[in-house]
Amino acid sequence: MKPNIIFLIIDSFREDKFLQSSTSKKPNIDNLIKNGTYFSNAFSTADATILSWSSIFTGKYPFKTGIRSSRFNKLNDDVPSIFSHLKKSNYSFYGFLPTFSETIGLFPNFKNDNFLYDYTETLYTGLGEKIILLLSNMKKNEPWFLTIHLLDLHFPLLVPKKFDSEEYGFSKYDRIVSSLDEWLKIFLKKVDFSNTILVITADHGTYIKKIKKNSEIIDFEDDAEKELLIKNVSKNIPSILKPIKDKLFLKLQDKKRNSVLNELSKHQLTNYEKRTLTGGLISKDHFMFDDQIHVPLLFVGKNIEHDKKFFKQVSLIDIFPTIAYLVNDSFDYTSCDGKNLLPLKSENIFIEKLAYFESNPLIDMPSNDVVGIRSSNFKYFRDKNSKDKRIHLFDLKNDILEEYNSSTSNPIQVEKMENELQKLLNSKKDDIVNKENSNSDEIENELRKMGYV
CA dist 39 and 355 (Å) reads 14
pLDDT of res. 95: 98
Among 93, 26, 241, 95, CA closest to 233: 241
Give all domains of the chain, ordered by start, each with its CATH number: 4-208+289-335 (3.40.720.10), 355-450 (3.30.1120.10)
Q: Which residues fall within 8 angstroms of residue 414, CB to CB, at 6 or more apart? A: 380, 391, 393, 407
Q: What is the DSSP string of 333-402?
A: GGGSS-----S---TTT----PEEEEPPPPSSS--B-EEEEE-SSEEEEEETT-TTSS-EEEETTT-TT-
Q: What is the pTM of this model?
A: 0.92
**Angle 248-360-128 (CA atoms, 0-180°, nearest 5)?**
90
Which pLDDT tens digit goes with each residue over 381-424? Answer: 999 999 999 999 999 999 999 999 999 999 999 999 999 999 99
Burial track 240-273 (b if 16+ CB lie within 10 A, e otherwise): eeeeeebeebeeeeeeeeeebeeeeeeeebeebb
Which pLDDT tens digit goes with each residue over 125-154? Answer: 999 999 999 999 998 888 999 999 999 999
Residue ranges in the chain modelled with pLDDT below 70:
69-72, 225-253, 364, 428-453
- Give the dihedral sign, CA 186/10/106/373: negative
pLDDT of res. 448: 54
Beta bridge partners of 97: 116
pLDDT of res. 228: 63
pLDDT of res. 141: 84
CA dist 103 and 246 (Å) reads 23
pLDDT of res. 416: 98
Q: What is the DSSP string of 22-85?
A: SSS--HHHHHHHHTEEEESSEE-SBSSHHHHHHHHTTSS-GGGTSSBSSSB-PPPTT---HHHH
CA dist 8 and 300 (Å) reads 12
- What separation, in Å, do the N-terminal and C-terminal C-alpha atoms of the chain show? 45
CA dist 158 and 146 (Å) reads 25
Q: What is the DSSP string of 404-451?
A: ---TTT-HHHHHHHHHHHHHHHHTTGGG------TTHHHHHHHHHHHT
CA dist 326 and 337 (Å) reads 18
pLDDT of res. 67: 84
Distances (CA, A) of 4 to 71, 93, 194, 200, 355: 36, 10, 10, 14, 29
Query: How far out from the chain centre does Cα 88 lie?
Result: 28
DSSP-derived secondary structure letter, 317: G
pLDDT of res. 401: 97
pLDDT of res. 440: 66
The alpha-carbon radius of gyration of the chain (Å, integer) is 21
pLDDT of res. 430: 42
Distances (CA, A) of 397 to 10, 57, 408, 420: 29, 31, 18, 19
pLDDT of res. 432: 45
Q: Which residues fall within 8 angstroms of residue 399, CB to CB, at 6 or more apart? A: 406
